[in-house]
Amino acid sequence: MNAPDAVLPLRSALHLALRQIEGTLAELGPDTFPGDTSDAQFYGPRRLDPAAPGANIGWTTGFWTGQLWLAHALTGRQALRLAAVRQTASFIHRMNAGVDLEHHDLGFLYQLTCVAADRLDAMPGARGAALHAAERLLGRFRPQAGIIQSWGSLDDPLQRGRIIIDGAMNLPLLHWAGALTGRAAFADAARRHLERTRAHLLRPDGATYHTYHFDPDTGAPLRPSTHQGAADDSCWARGQAWGIYGFALNHRHLPDLGLLDDAVRMADYFLARLPHDRIALWDLSLAHDSGEPRDSSACAIAACGLLEIAHQLPDDTARRYYRDEALALLLALHATCAGERPGCGGVLLHGVYHRAANLGVDEATLWGDYYYFEALARLAGCWTPSMPAA
């Protein structure tokens, strides 16, 4: 691909994404959090019992506030900043009140909100809340097993000793906290968790399992499983994308582990299994003519991962290859999945949350919107919460 050929359409994609974000903000207001996914292609107030509609609860709210901070960073518009500040204040309150924090997605929640607010706005209280989030994430580390438990309380009999491939994406919060405090425990926990993730969730061919179970007391590996994939031994597309981006990001902080080579293997597996239109089916094991839905969010995450891989590779030819593959994914997403009012409110259509549970199938998703927007922001030269401070 000739990179200049991608400039104009992707610049248009960025402007369209900004308009969609501002439209949702105008519809919902600065104090309302959208649902995990759109409903009939438009976001409404988040509804998770027993919380009030639009409350800051669940694992995905940071993707919405993260979009607002990125939009402000790109445009300098004060309306976006004020909305992002108000929403970030909700994350500070959520941490202080201990609302829905018994899971590993504290990185998604606080890296994209409070870390961004501290970096971009020096917002009072944001750094402290993010440090508390990192402490809570560190508190989920099981030293006997060498893992950070993904879900549930640490005494939950169904979740004790379980990790998921998504977890690699939450670890940059630990690296940030370790750099800020000088405490080695943050990086040590991330290192051990990544070593176990690589050993047991990453397969020899570059595919990934979604989840893996360990004995929480001895660390003995027990079995792989899936929660959202087609089968325990299939390759869930979004999980593969989390692995690509997560390993590439962690390579910045732990280069001696060689995680970039693993990210490349996962990326090659992902790219080799894309259909002709380059929009992944929700599970990479599915036949392209199966009639199963695409998951655009997996491609958005993977595009960020490919850009991160390209940024770190030392070889010019390999760097150009993975950057071009990222551009090709983004061009495909813009051509076939970009949302535009008045027909839809999401930034990125044709996502899938949970196919088996029929949740958010062929809808916009907050994470798909965020990572598509982040990839476009990266190309525009904008700092993002997933990148180190300049």
pLDDT digits (tens, 9 = 90+) for 49-93: 899 999 999 999 999 999 999 999 999 999 999 999 999 999 999
Is 256 tagged catalytic? no
pLDDT digits (tens, 9 = 90+) for 248-282: 999 999 999 999 999 999 999 999 999 999 999 99
- Mean pLDDT across the stretch 145-151? 98
Evaluate if residue 386 carries a pLDDT over 80.
no
Q: What DSSP designation does 155 have?
A: T
Q: Which of 36, 105, 283, 295 is catalytic?
A: 105
Amino acid letter, 125: G
171 contacts 244 by C-beta, under 8 angstroms? no
Evaluate if residue 388 carries a pLDDT over 70.
no
174 contacts 109 by C-beta, under 8 angstroms? no
Rg (CA), the chain: 19
Phi, psi of 257 (to 5 degrees): -75, -15
Amino acid letter, 342: P
Evaluate if residue 374 carries a pLDDT over 90.
yes
Domains of the chain: 3-379 (1.50.10.10)
25 contacts 70 by C-beta, under 8 angstroms? no
206 contacts 261 by C-beta, under 8 angstroms? no
Lowest-confidence region among 8-12, 37-41, 306-310, 347-351? 8-12
- Mean pLDDT across the stretch 181-201? 98
- SS3 category, 48: coil
Name the band, by pLDDT with cuts 50, 70 and 90, for residue 331: very high
Return the pLDDT at 3. 61
Return the pLDDT at 6. 75
- Which residue stretches of the chain are H helix? 3-28, 61-75, 78-97, 106-110, 116-121, 126-138, 172-181, 184-201, 237-253, 259-272, 296-312, 316-337, 366-379
Give percent of the chain above pLDDT 90: 95
Output the CA torsion 270→275→280→281 (10° steps). -120
Q: Which of 36, 118, 166, 262 is catalytic?
A: 166
Evaluate if residue 214 carries a pLDDT over 90.
yes
Helix axes 61-75, 3-28, angle to 10 degrees: 120
Helix axes 172-181, 184-201, angle to 10 degrees: 160
Is 369 tagged catalytic? no
- SS3 category, 74: helix
- Mean pLDDT across the stretch 305-320? 97
Q: Cα(59)–Cα(170) distance, rounded to whole angstroms?
A: 11
**Sheet with strand 221-225: strands edge to edge:** 162-164, 211-214, 221-225
Measure the CA angle with vertex 20, ends 114 and 73; round to 5°.
40
Name the band, by pLDDT with cuts 50, 70 and 90, for residue 198: very high
- Mean pLDDT, the chain, integer: 96
Return the pLDDT at 4. 61
